[in-house]
Structure 1
């Protein structure tokens, strides 16, 4: 009798623990159901629409974010550089390449909860389309580091993992046809502090 009760408790613990772990994993990964990936950038184009899958809806509800509708814009998140290594605040990155057509875009360095990194300085860890310098071919080159850099500089601070969040507002890429053949900036690691 006691053996059967212990085995039942073990089975329940495995079932509940395994179920909770799988839900946690599904809600924390940046890739998965409903995601599209362009280079190192991942987005959920159905977020904020009736077509969103249950995991995307649960992610929005858990994070308490106001999701952009399909006609409003699209947010891309990068958690790895172009070499496949996880992004780290201690490293220097160069974001370079073309950006799709959009009325306005923002780029910020984020912590694990996708909030803007607190830099402890008056300069935020964010840039927007109206303040960047462009190359002759209309591409951008942005340095992301804890130390100032010439040209476009995105301040990062602290240590540990980070993400880049690139959001396009009022853009044709929010429709499914606008995503074909699209390119986003490459993220190249230039070095790391020891």
Structure 2
């Protein structure tokens, strides 16, 4: 009797543990679907809609993300510069160009896993549309560097890879595969590297 109970417990542990491990593996390794790219920027606009695939929704929910619906806005992420090289916190970059029309936008830096970068004293690695200085024709230039820069500056503290995250709120940008490839987004150019 004890032997059968023991076998049942072993069987249940293998079944439940194996099932949980396979779900964890699938969520970590299944590719996200519905990705649109434009230069170094990529977006997953279907995440906040019923058309999102269940693995993408589960992965996003597990990470604590709250996807924006199509009428709320869109999140654009860049992990590489405009030349295709990975973004590193030890390098200096210039983000320049026009932004699509939006009621409000935010621009911030994260580490490779999406965690916020440490503050530089009282300066955070984040900007929004009401706190930047615009150039001619409403163009934008933002310097990403460890050292303070004139104009718009985002500090990139620490070492390792990073991401630039641009969120457009209440924008008229309708994201389809045709329109997203034609969308004009800022370029990310590496100025120099100290590593």
The residue number in structure 2 matching 1:11 is none
The residue number in structure 2 matching 1:7 is none
Give the secondary structure class of the aligned counterpart of 1:57.
helix
State the Cα distance separating 1:55 from its structure 2 match: 2.9
After superposition, give the CA deviation of every residue in 1:126-170 in whole Å (9 maximum; x if it has no partner): 000111111112111110001010111111100001000000000
In the alignment, the residues of structure 1 paired with residue 149 and residue 165 of structure 2 have an alpha-carbon distance, to the nearest angstrom, of: 20
Q: Is the contact made by 2:43 and 2:74 (CA closer than 8 Å) also made in structure 1?
A: yes
The residue number in structure 2 matching 1:25 is 29
Q: What runs of 5+ residues in structure 1 fail to find an aligned partner?
A: 1-15
In the alignment, the residues of structure 1 paired with residue 181 and residue 88 of structure 2 have an alpha-carbon distance, to the nearest angstrom, of: 30
In the alignment, the residues of structure 2 paired with residue 168 and residue 73 of structure 1 have an alpha-carbon distance, to the nearest angstrom, of: 5
CA RMSD of aligned residues (A): 2.1
In the alignment, the residues of structure 2 paired with residue 98 and residue 139 of structure 1 have an alpha-carbon distance, to the nearest angstrom, of: 5
In the alignment, the residues of structure 2 paired with residue 175 and residue 93 of structure 1 have an alpha-carbon distance, to the nearest angstrom, of: 27
Find out whether 1:136 has 2:140 as its counterpart. no
Matched positions, count: 175
Normalising by structure 2, what TM-score? 0.82
Cα–Cα, structure 1 residues 68 and 95, in superposed 2: closer, same or farther, change >3 Å?
same
Normalising by structure 1, what TM-score? 0.82
The residue number in structure 1 matching 2:187 is 186
